[in-house]
A and B are shown apart, each in its own frame.
Chain A
Amino acid sequence: MTWQQDVTSPEWRAAVTAPRRTLASRVEAVSLDGQSLGDVPCTGVRVSFDGGQAESWRGSFALVDPAMVPVSTTSLLDGRSGTMLRVWWRILTTAGWMECPAGTLIVEDPEVTDDGTLSIGVPGLDVLSVARRGKYGASVVQVGGMTVSAALQRLFDTVAPGFPVSIAPSTATLPASYELWDRDPAEDWTEIAAMAGMVVRTDRLGTITVRPDPDPSAVVADWQEGPTCPVVELKSGTKTSTIPRRVVVVSTSPDVTPPVVGVWTNPDADSQTIVTEQRIESSTVTTVAAAESLARMSGERWARPQQSVQVTVPARPDLGYRDPVALTRHQAGVSGVYRVQSWDLTLSGPDDAPALMPVTMMVRQ
């Protein structure tokens, strides 16, 4: 069975929500082309996942095995070896051990400390953070008239050859003239992917993926207060300071003289305490109608209070970005279906107590 089949199996679902769980983890070294290079003896791992960020994954690894001290360019922890570390979170189910990847990170710049006992610390980076360091060099990459998929394939072939990339097919095409040469490649790939309504992210296996944001509808976890509630701690914040009284959009395109201005006034801003004015300068707006439309869209986007919720639960790194979770705690004024934005996973050795996991939900209005 593949891990994808594992995490959708009834045994997995029963095991992750069971009141008694037996957990383990392992760290596997993989080459850029996906070949497994064997397990790495890590004594501690931290993985932070934030699906809302362009670089979704961060982490760090701790090791004590002197054999892991990098001594050449092919050593696993040497950034030049093209090695990624894949974290597997394991749980004992009625059908035996099952596992799910909790991030695949590039490791670079390890630090070795020796005070009699050796320790190695190495940060883990999102594949995209390494890919964006590559530039176009002296070349100008022509992607005009290509489909979004083909243009992104050419972009990644140029800035990050050899990195695993998976691009969803798209029929949207770029303008006839479109050159890549000077900007941060991350700005380019974000902009090109957005033309087809897609985002560029790194998946759990360290593959750069280009596809629309996921939009799962089934509730994957029931964390409402009650006899079986796993939530140990809940933090909730409500933000009203972002509600605008007025939004002003001003065109900055040199082709538009005089500049056009669009204004949206919050019809609910009768409260004297709503004083925020939002000002947007846009180079793409060329008409008053467009400026007013942008002002209205932006105003309505921020017109209601923002609620942010963070909970602490026993580890569930199988949760993905935007997975719906039912959450209720009347005393704290939290109720409804929230979507997962980010989580932090801490893993350590077999004699350390399994750590709890903070999960931050997407902001709701």
Chain B
Amino acid sequence: MPVTVRGAYSGKVSPAGWTTIAWPAGTAEGDLAWVHCGGSLSPLGPDSFGWIPVGHKAWWKILSASDLSASLTVSASHVKLVTFTGAGQIGRTSSQSGLTIQTNGSVLLVDGARQSSGMAPATWRRGAEWQDENNWWQAVFAVACDAGYVSLPGVASGTDCYSYEVQPPSTTYPPPTLIEPAAASHVDATLPIVMSWESPHKTTPAGVDDQYQVKVVTGGTTRWVKADGSLSTTEWSIPMSGTGVLSISLPASTLTANAAYTWSVGTQWVSGWVWSPERALYPDTPPTVSTPTVSSPAGDLSPTVSWTASPGTGVITAHRVWILPSISNDASAALWDSGVIQNAGTSITAPPSTPWTNGQTLKAWVQVYQSGGVSKRASSGAFGATFTVSWTPPATPTLTVTAGSPVQVVVSGVTVGNVVQIEQALDGVTWTPLTSRTATATTMTVTSVLAANGTAVKIRARQGSIVEGVPMTSAWSTVQTVTATPDGCWLVDDADRATSLKVSPVTDTRRGIVQGITATYGLGATRARVDSTPQAGERGELVLATDTLVERAELLAWLKDRSVWWIVMCPDDGQPHRPIRAARVSPPEWERLAQTALSSIYHLPVSWVEQA
């Protein structure tokens, strides 16, 4: 139905400002109203909701019953109002006397103004020309028209024009939206092909089917897909229900391999069949790939996988290899995944850093890709041809522990050059590192000050060698338990806890808990409010004595080389103190300043704060 003018009003507002205007006779709910609020006032527009600004100081709206129940209120010096029936929206606008109309059955609305009268023939004018507050002549014109460039005929020179395209409501129906396969996809012709699309029908009643047609075209030949996926030489509709994603599956080899197809989906609306854009589809013969072979001699941590492949069409472009436990069928469980490698290679070597388990039964998967992206996968385990990665680990060392302060730990049966790792469980439960050192002889002896804490402490050791750049460790030795009485005052390195230094404390002063506290009394309050930070360990000041300047220099060097260390204080009546993991906070210059206050130049003050 074409757009027609229902009625119009225009005129001056005196005094300028808010005014009310009666709707033109016959204006009904669903009509489109256009209003121009002219003059020098701020363009506030109509005083009700939902008006859409458009063009020159103009607004439009599809009128509701509540709009029509009251007059139109606007703020302006002069007003032009036109209502239309059969209109859906205002399309393009221009500041000339015409524009390119997009839809048949539209109306070109021209808002004109001129300093003298006679701006255009009266044929298309709505009402008379009239003079505004500045004595300009004003009028509106409406021209019924179809698509194409349209202008108001016979416009006088010097006329200011603003044009609007008043369009009928949009009546286009949406097509299905294609989802899978993606545009120009290459698919494996030997596998079923699933075609899916999103239904454009959102309001079909329950229990009623919508009609669809799925069309595949190759070399000028069109075929329609039936509900079972077979092809029909005549037009074939499929009734389907559902408002979401719909799909249909073509059995393997339904489409001719290596032919170029297009496919599209149509659906039926009241206006007829509406079709989606066509998408290209290439059902390709997949490549062939041989059963992979694996070379993995004992002691070699980098097995090599080999295969041969030939393309079904095009050329081989890429490959991807997985190595996984032979019992697994999930690529995500792979010990190693090469990723897609863009070349036509026929062998690949896994890196030695792969987390192999000694002697585990493994298999390799090889997937080769041809141009277009269609791929084929083969497994070395298809006929039971599995392989292992294996090596001979270092021997498990033997451990001897002697009580004392410090506890002496002897690890024997180690190979020179291997890394020996020793751990201690000071509470008998939690393993913490004691040291990790490279063996220089077949026996290694270390000491642990922290292990002499009066309780049963467990100690264990193992050794590791480097094979193809990868550390290989032995099993842990038998755990040894030792209970040793603490004795003396020690500093223990935090990084290597087998490194310690016996020291002689003179004073242990200014011990405190690290915590900030603020107490305040509010106005009229009867008790304090206390804000505090959480306790963050202890702090204190230790003065250490040395006998000679050489000893003092040695102690200073030991402290300078280490930022974090442990303080193990002398026991009280054989009862150990808690060892404190501390960092030094006294700056080096204190060593000189502080000594003047002390009796001996051999005394060394150390301020410390506990570390988490």
Task: List residues of A whose CB falls within 8 A of some B CB.
Answer: 19-24, 92, 116-117, 145, 171, 173, 175-176, 225-232, 234, 255, 284, 286, 313-315, 329, 348-356
What mask results when residues 32 to 69 of chain B are scored 1 for a CB within 8 Å of chain A, else 0?
00000000111100000100111111000000000000
Select which of B42, B49, B525 is within 8 A of A228 by beta carbon: B525
Say whether A232 contacts B534, CB under 8 Å.
no
Select which of B54, B518, B526 is within 8 A of A227 by beta carbon: B526
Give the nearest-CB partner of B58 in chain A.
Answer: A176
Say whether A22 contacts B532, CB under 8 Å.
yes
B522 contacts partner chain A, Cβ-Cβ < 8 Å: yes
B183 contacts partner chain A, Cβ-Cβ < 8 Å: no
Asked whether A314 and B523 contact (CB < 8 A) given A175-B43, A350-B534, the answer is: no
B357 contacts partner chain A, Cβ-Cβ < 8 Å: no
Say whether B534 contacts A230, CB under 8 Å.
no
Say whether A350 contacts B516, CB under 8 Å.
yes
Say whether B523 contacts A350, CB under 8 Å.
no
Most buried by B among A23, A24, A175, A176: A176
B515 contacts partner chain A, Cβ-Cβ < 8 Å: yes
Q: Determine the chain B residues whose CB is within 8 A of the CB of A232 once the complex forms.
A: 520-523
Say whether A230 contacts B524, CB under 8 Å.
no
A169 to B41, CA, bound (A): 27
Give the nearest-CB partner of A347 in chain B.
Answer: B533
Q: Determine the chain B residues whose CB is within 8 A of the CB of A352 once the complex forms.
A: 516, 533
Say whether B523 contacts A229, CB under 8 Å.
yes
Q: How distant is A338 from chain B, measured CB to nearest CB, in Å?
A: 15
Select which of A117, A231, A353 is within 8 A of B523 by beta carbon: A231
Say whether B53 contacts A226, CB under 8 Å.
no
Q: Determine the chain A residues whose CB is within 8 A of the CB of B514 once the complex forms.
A: 350-351
Asked whether A227 and B527 contact (CB < 8 A) given A176-B55, A351-B514, the answer is: yes
Q: Determine the chain A residues whose CB is within 8 A of the CB of B57 once the complex forms.
A: 176
Say whether B518 contacts A356, CB under 8 Å.
yes
Give the nearest-CB partner of A286 in chain B.
Answer: B40
Say whether B587 contacts A229, CB under 8 Å.
no
Give the nearest-CB partner of B535 in chain A.
Answer: A350
Select which of A176, A350, A356 is within 8 A of B533 by beta carbon: A350
Most buried by A among B54, B516, B517, B589: B516
B577 contacts partner chain A, Cβ-Cβ < 8 Å: no
Asked whether A22 and B56 contact (CB < 8 A) given A229-B525, A356-B518, the answer is: no
Q: Determine the chain A residues whose CB is within 8 A of the CB of B531 once the complex forms.
A: 21, 23, 314-315, 353-354
B270 contacts partner chain A, Cβ-Cβ < 8 Å: no
A324 to B269, CA, bound (A): 60
Say whether B524 contacts A227, CB under 8 Å.
yes
Say whether A231 contacts B589, CB under 8 Å.
no
What mask results when residues 20 to 40 of chain B are scored 1 for a CB within 8 Å of chain A, else 0?
000000000000000000001
Most buried by B among A314, A329, A355: A314
Q: How distant is B522 from chain A, measured CB to nearest CB, in Å?
A: 4
Say whether A230 contacts B532, CB under 8 Å.
no
List residues 478-535 of chain B with CB under 8 A from any CB of chain A. 514-518, 520-534
Q: Determine the chain A residues whose CB is within 8 A of the CB of B333 once the complex forms.
A: none
Say whether A355 contacts B40, CB under 8 Å.
no
Classify the interface of chain A: helix, strand, loop or mixed.
loop
Classify the interface of chain B: helix, strand, loop or mixed.
loop
Q: How distant is A350 from chain B, measured CB to nearest CB, in Å?
A: 4
Asked whether A173 and B53 contact (CB < 8 A) given A21-B530, A354-B531, the answer is: yes
Q: How distant is A162 from chain B, measured CB to nearest CB, in Å?
A: 31
List residues 571-589 of chain B with CB under 8 A from any CB of chain A. 587, 589
- In order of increasing CB-CB distance, the 9 nearest A-B pairs are A229-B522, A225-B524, A350-B536, A354-B531, A353-B516, A353-B518, A227-B526, A352-B516, A225-B523
Asked whether A227 and B525 contact (CB < 8 A) given A350-B533, A354-B532, the answer is: yes
Q: Determine the chain B residues whose CB is within 8 A of the CB of A117 once the complex forms.
A: 587
Say whether B536 contacts A351, CB under 8 Å.
yes
Asked whether A234 and B523 contact (CB < 8 A) given A175-B43, A350-B514, the answer is: yes
Give the nearest-CB partner of B51 in chain A.
Answer: A173
Task: List residues of B whose CB falls within 8 A of some A CB.
Answer: 40-43, 49, 52-57, 514-518, 520-534, 536, 539, 587, 589
Say whether A92 contacts B524, CB under 8 Å.
no
A348 to B517, CA, bound (A): 12
A339 to B529, CA, bound (A): 23
Give the nearest-CB partner of A225 in chain B.
Answer: B524
Say whether B533 contacts A23, CB under 8 Å.
yes
Q: A22-B532, A284-B42, A351-B533 are in contact. List 11 more A-B contacts (CB 8 A).
A: A19-B530, A20-B530, A92-B534, A116-B587, A286-B41, A314-B531, A350-B536, A351-B514, A351-B539, A353-B517, A354-B532
Give the nearest-CB partner of A25 in chain B.
Answer: B533
Q: How distant is B293 from chain A, measured CB to nearest CB, in Å?
A: 45
Say whether A314 contacts B517, CB under 8 Å.
no
A171 to B534, CA, bound (A): 50
A234 to B523, CA, bound (A): 9
Can you report 14 A-B residue pairs in the complex whose CB atoms are below 8 A from each other?
Answer: A22-B533, A116-B587, A145-B53, A145-B54, A171-B49, A173-B53, A176-B43, A226-B524, A228-B525, A234-B523, A350-B514, A351-B515, A351-B516, A355-B518
A120 to B180, CA, bound (A): 57
Q: Determine the chain A residues whose CB is within 8 A of the CB of B589 once the complex forms.
A: 116
Q: How distant is B162 from chain A, measured CB to nearest CB, in Å?
A: 10
Q: Determine the chain B residues whose CB is within 8 A of the CB of A22 once the complex forms.
A: 532-534
Q: Determine the chain A residues whose CB is within 8 A of the CB of B43 once the complex forms.
A: 175-176
Q: Determine the chain B residues whose CB is within 8 A of the CB of A356 once the complex forms.
A: 518, 520
A225 to B40, CA, bound (A): 58
Q: Determine the chain A residues whose CB is within 8 A of the CB of B539 once the complex forms.
A: 351
Q: How distant is A293 from chain B, measured CB to nearest CB, in Å?
A: 13
Say whether B587 contacts A176, CB under 8 Å.
no
Q: How distant is B434 from chain A, measured CB to nearest CB, in Å?
A: 28
Select which of B40, B53, B516, B524 is within 8 A of A354 by beta carbon: B516
Say whether A314 contacts B532, CB under 8 Å.
no
Q: Determine the chain B residues whose CB is within 8 A of the CB of A24 once the complex forms.
A: 533-534
Select which of B56, B515, B536 is within 8 A of A176 by beta carbon: B56
Q: How distant is B564 from chain A, measured CB to nearest CB, in Å?
A: 14
A176 to B587, CA, bound (A): 69
A306 to B515, CA, bound (A): 42
Q: How distant is A171 from chain B, measured CB to nearest CB, in Å?
A: 8
Q: How distant is B516 from chain A, measured CB to nearest CB, in Å?
A: 4
Q: How distant is B322 from chain A, measured CB to nearest CB, in Å?
A: 31
Say whether B532 contacts A23, CB under 8 Å.
yes
Q: How distant is A25 from chain B, measured CB to nearest CB, in Å?
A: 9
Say whether A231 contacts B53, CB under 8 Å.
no
Give the nearest-CB partner of A17 in chain B.
Answer: B529
A232 to B524, CA, bound (A): 9
Say whether A314 contacts B515, CB under 8 Å.
no
Q: Determine the chain A residues whose CB is within 8 A of the CB of B533 once the complex forms.
A: 22-24, 350-352, 354
Say whether A314 contacts B53, CB under 8 Å.
no
Most buried by B among A20, A255, A315: A20
Say whether B516 contacts A229, CB under 8 Å.
no
Q: How distant is B511 from chain A, measured CB to nearest CB, in Å?
A: 14
Asked whether A314 and B525 contact (CB < 8 A) given A350-B514, A350-B536, the answer is: no
Q: Determine the chain B residues whose CB is within 8 A of the CB of A230 once the complex forms.
A: 520, 522, 525, 529
Q: How distant is A118 from chain B, measured CB to nearest CB, in Å?
A: 12
